[in-house]
Amino acid sequence: MFSRRRPSFMKRSIAARAAMIPVCFSLWMTAQAAQPVVKGPESVADWDRAGQGFIESAKRLSPHNARAKNVILFVGDGMGISTVTAARILEGQLAGRPGEENRLSFENMPYAALSKTYSWDQQTADSAPTMTAMATGHKAREGMLSVDHLTPRGECSASVNRDHALKTILEYAAESGKSTGIVTTARLTHATPAALYAHIAFRDWEADSNLPELSNGEPCRGAEGSVKDIARQLIEVSPAVRRSLKVALGGGRMNFMPASRDGVDGVDDEYPKGKGRRADGRDLIAEWLTTRGAGAAYVWNRQQFDALDTQSTTHLLGLFEPSHMQYEADRAKDGAGEPSLSEMTAKSLQLLQKDRKGYFLHVEGGRIDHAHHAGNAKRALIEAIEFARAVRYAMDHTDPKDTLIIVTADHSHTFTIAGYPSRGNDILGLVREVPATDGAPLAPSKDANGLPFTTLGYANGPGHRGGAGRPDLTRVDTTGLDFLQEAAVPLGSETHGGEDVAIYARGPRAHLVHGSMEQNWIFHVMRDAFGF
Amino acid sequence: MRSASERLRRAIAAVAFAFAWGGALAQAPVGVTEAGAGTDAPLAAKYRVTVIAGSDASGSVVRQQEWVFWRQADTVAINKGSTEEIWQRDAHGRISLQRVLRAQRTVVDYSAGELAALGIEVNWSELYRFGSAAGTAGVEWDDSLNLPARFTQLINERALVRFDLLESRAGAPADWDLPGHRSAGYAQLDAADFGDMAYDPAVKVAESLDVRAGWRQAAHRH
């Protein structure tokens, strides 16, 4: 436990140690006068006080066994534990504090557990089977959405997909008469949100144009009896889900728009050179409006979103970008303007809380994952902070007596926090250790070749600097928004990580979230809380 | 600080990347170049691209192609035969890219945010003029067109490539194979999804082109 630093001291000869005695005495004298350069804000008594407070709070905990009227499932896509830690520190540092002592909103929830994210056929999984596990209670196959693990890969038959379909927590809630909602910063047809309403053997079949002409040797795209694409499944859901799904907010507009209709290109409102992706010529946005009643509304920009009357609106579809929504860090630059994840969460709750029978809401921070894939830690952490802000809104505007909130991730990334940075060291900066002598200035730690390095990094990805070895980051602003952290293995895109992710919970039956859990058990907690 | 000669070398390399290796004038900032004496009028230009020595991506020793450069007020597009790049600048100055992969019948969208997340900065001025005239040794600059007329460049220390301006026309010549005109029915991908699509052949090709352009390996940032 004490072996981490300066092992060379342990190897010095007795003679060398003897020679150092006067030097050490001198340093000791200096230490009496000098103050630590790095100081936390805590007093000695603070540690005891905080620890006792935690114990008293824990003693007051008791299982809340009532049924949940409402369940909210927050999923930070790719928000592994290292991402939570780094986002916590960054949020604290942005508020002018050292950062380490900060807590993201959901870290104040009383119950937590670890989630094992492997899928039926993957050690390190993608978002499709991981969200399927949480949505249906079943671990599934790579790339498949809410169909069981016996489903053949590339299965295009609608009837086969239907035979293997797994009912989702959203569908259970809809059938029980509750309202439901889906909010994401990714495309609404992307794997995580889609697992709640779509049943399909391949996550990439988001629009009909994505289906192959042939799959497993059989006609697929446009063929009679072929599975409906994901966008179409969102519009043509069961009657219960059609009544129930009151809110669907996110990106992915192009998957709902025709490439052309009656010989006219399906031109995007925000980007005139953008076109729809539907080869079948259907305008699914118009179909959604006509099939959801007079109180249905569709919005695609900030102004429309802000102007929406939640009292008169019964069903809301919001599609704010042709593909994924903007990164939170870039959102202010969007021409048409778009809401943040926390603003979408707020609007959704305002709509869903009108239902006295209760609701199920899923909120995904979808772009943490994308920024990590790009090897861009700052964008990923800003996404995670905004995700925590959305959770805070939900915590502040729901009653823990009747609303179960679960916060988790679908999988992790290869993101690391390393070195021995001192307390309060810029989480995006170069590692600077606590000086060996009090009063000595902080200086960047050096690698074996004398070069400084950052606290944050990736095991693989686009941040790899090949060729002549590591770069000299001495004069590089590693805190810049576009800086790519170094990666050990060169890959065009950084990959997911296979270690466990965290689950946090508050509200009825939240105590069922405990210990080491299989990811699919999250579904069982939600179903038990609802009493289905 | 990077020296002036280093900045110049990188500027020239960026031009060469744009032609020969699937990249574009989207590298580390190399400084905005002042316009030449001519105008920046919309035009289309044909270049002959000749691999003089060494090997290109496909391994050939000597190869010659005709590529088409086409610029409009808010669009710069390059048809390189098997691939195309279509760069667009919106009213807010945000620049996005579509990479067209003809063999895969796929268009890959790189939003402005995704380009930024990958650490790619785009110099629209140089993109629009296909390079820089500013004191670039060995480059013959056509001041009337604000385009390079001829230059030779060693690419990736593997291939010596020469670029010759063959012809230019105002506007959009109907009989030219302009970029973006053949991809209407192609599948579309978002580059943000590459991390979840390593199995896709189009993703492999696009990532390979990205890496050759100096993207996705961060080395261009330092």
Pick from A259, A473, A494: which is nearest to B195 by CB?
A494
In a domain, B178, yes or no: no
Q: Which residues of B touch A464 (CB under 8 A)?
A: 217-218
Q: What is the CATH number of domain A70-414+495-530?
A: 3.40.720.10
**Across the strands, what pairs with B70?**
B44, B77
Q: Which residues of B touch A142 (CB under 8 A)?
A: none
Pick from A326, A374, A496: which is nearest to B118 by CB?
A374
Alpha helices in A224-312 (DSSP H): 230-235, 239-244, 284-291, 302-307
The minimum CA-CA distance between B117 and chain A, rounded to whole Å, is 6
Pick from B92, B195, B196: which is nearest to A335 by CB?
B92
Q: Which of A127, A226, A244, A342 is catalytic?
A: A127
Instruction: Give the separation between CA A134 and CA A168, rounded to whole angstroms.
Output: 9
Q: Which residues of B touch A373 (CB under 8 A)?
A: 192, 194-196
Match 């600080």 to its residue by tokens: B1
**Dihedral-angle region of residue A358 (phi above 0 means left; psi in -120 to 50 means alpha; beta otherwise):** left
Pick from A203, A483, A492: which is nearest to B216 by CB?
A492
The minimum CA-CA distance between A335 and chain B, rounded to whole Å, is 7
Q: Which of A80, A21, A4 is nearest to A368 (CA)?
A: A80
Selected residue of B92, B212, B217, B221 to mutate for chain A interface (largest A Cβ count, 10 A)? B217
Residue in chain A lying closest to B109 (CA): A323
In a domain, B94, yes or no: yes
Mind listing the pLDDT tens digit for each residue in B153-201? 777 666 788 889 999 999 888 888 888 887 878 889 999 999 999 889 9
Residue in chain A lying closest to B219 (CA): A465
Q: Which residues of A touch B86 (CB under 8 A)?
A: none
In a domain, B174, yes or no: no
Q: Which residues of B touch A496 (CB under 8 A)?
A: 195
CB contact under 8 A, A472 and B222: yes
Residue in chain B lying closest to A212 (CA): B187
CB contact under 8 A, B207 and A493: yes
Alpha helices in B44-111 (DSSP H): none
Question: Is B24's pLDDT higher than 50?
Answer: no
Q: Is pLDDT larger for residue B168 or for residue B51?
A: B168
Q: Which of A163, A162, A158, A165 is nearest to A219 (CA)?
A: A158
The total number of structural domains that make up chain B: 1
Question: Is B139's pLDDT higher than 90?
Answer: no
The minimum CA-CA distance between A482 and chain B, rounded to whole Å, is 5
Cβ–Cβ under 8 Å, residues B87 and B77: yes
What pLDDT, on a 0 to 100 scale, did the predictor assign at position B11?
37
CB contact under 8 A, B118 and A209: no
- Chain B interface with A: residues with Cβ < 8 Å: 88, 90-92, 94, 109, 111-114, 116-119, 121, 184-185, 187-188, 190, 192-198, 200, 207-208, 210-211, 215-219, 221-222
Residue in chain B lying closest to A265 (CA): B184
User: What is the complex's ipTM, to 2 decimals?
Assistant: 0.85
Mind listing the pLDDT tens digit for each residue in A162-173? 999 999 999 999
Helix (H) / strand (E) containing A529: helix A521-530
Q: Which residues of B touch A145 (CB under 8 A)?
A: none
Percent residues over pLDDT 70 in chain B: 73
What pLDDT, on a 0 to 100 scale, did the predictor assign at position A359?
98
CA distance from start to end of chain A: 48
In a domain, B113, yes or no: yes
Residue in chain B lying closest to A252 (CA): B190
Pick from A273, A335, A462: which is nearest to B91 by CB?
A335
What pLDDT, on a 0 to 100 scale, did the predictor assign at position A151?
98
Residue in chain A lying closest to B88 (CA): A273
Neighbours of A45 (CB within 10 A): 8
Q: Worst-scoring range by mean pLDDT, B32-36, B130-134, B135-139?
A: B32-36
What pLDDT, on a 0 to 100 scale, did the predictor assign at position B134?
64
Q: For residue B128, give both structure tokens.
A: 């629009």
Phi, psi of A531 (to 5 degrees): 85, 30
Query: Is A127 a known active-site residue?
Result: yes
Q: Give exposure, A25-36, as e/b (b: 16+ Cβ within 10 Å).
A: eebeeeeeeeee
Q: Which residues of A touch B210 (CB under 8 A)?
A: 492
CB contact under 8 A, B218 and A209: no
Q: Is the dihedral of CA A77, A82, A85, A86 positive or negative?
A: negative
Instruction: Give the separation between CA A165 and CA A490, rounded to whole angstroms.
Output: 38
CB contact under 8 A, A482 and B117: yes
Q: Which of B75, B90, B92, B91 is nearest to B24 (CA)?
A: B75
Instruction: Give the separation between CA A371 and CA B180, rounded to whole angstroms.
Output: 28
Neighbours of A90 (CB within 10 A): 23
The minimum CA-CA distance between A380 and chain B, rounded to whole Å, is 9
Selected residue of A188, A451, A482 to mutate for chain B interface (largest B Cβ count, 10 A)? A482
Where chain A has pLDDT below 50, the residues are 1-26, 28-29, 31
The minimum CA-CA distance between B188 and chain A, rounded to whole Å, is 8
Residue B65, domain CATH: 2.50.20
Q: Which residues of A touch B111 (CB under 8 A)?
A: 323-324, 326
Mind listing the pLDDT tens digit for each residue in A439-476? 999 999 999 999 999 999 999 999 998 777 899 999 99
CB contact under 8 A, A327 and B207: no
Residue B48 is part of which domain span?
4-32+40-168+184-221
Cβ–Cβ under 8 Å, residues A378 and A428: yes
Q: For residue A138, give both structure tokens.
A: 């079943």
Question: Is B12's pLDDT higher than 60?
Answer: no
Q: Which residues of A touch B116 (CB under 8 A)?
A: 330, 481-482
Question: How much of chain B is in helix, strand and coil states, percent to nearest 5?
Answer: 20, 35, 45
Mean pLDDT of chain B: 77
The minimum CA-CA distance between A326 and chain B, rounded to whole Å, is 7
Instruction: Give the domain ranges of chain A.
Output: 70-414+495-530
CB contact under 8 A, B118 and A462: yes
Q: Which residues contact A374 (CB under 8 A, 6 or more apart)?
A: A461, A462, A484, A493, A494, B114, B117, B118, B192, B195
Cβ–Cβ under 8 Å, residues B183 and B84: yes
CB contact under 8 A, A484 and B119: yes
Instruction: Give the separation between CA A78 and CA A367, rounded to whole angstroms.
Output: 8
CB contact under 8 A, B194 and A486: no
Cβ–Cβ under 8 Å, residues B67 and B96: no
What does the pLDDT average to over B25-43?
50
- Please, which pLDDT band fits residue B13 given cuts at 50, 70 and 90? very low
Pick from B188, B195, B221: which is nearest to A493 by CB?
B195
Question: Is B5's pLDDT higher than 60?
Answer: no
In a domain, B210, yes or no: yes
**Number of A:B CB contacts under 8 A?**
109
The minimum CA-CA distance between B61 and chain A, rounded to whole Å, is 25
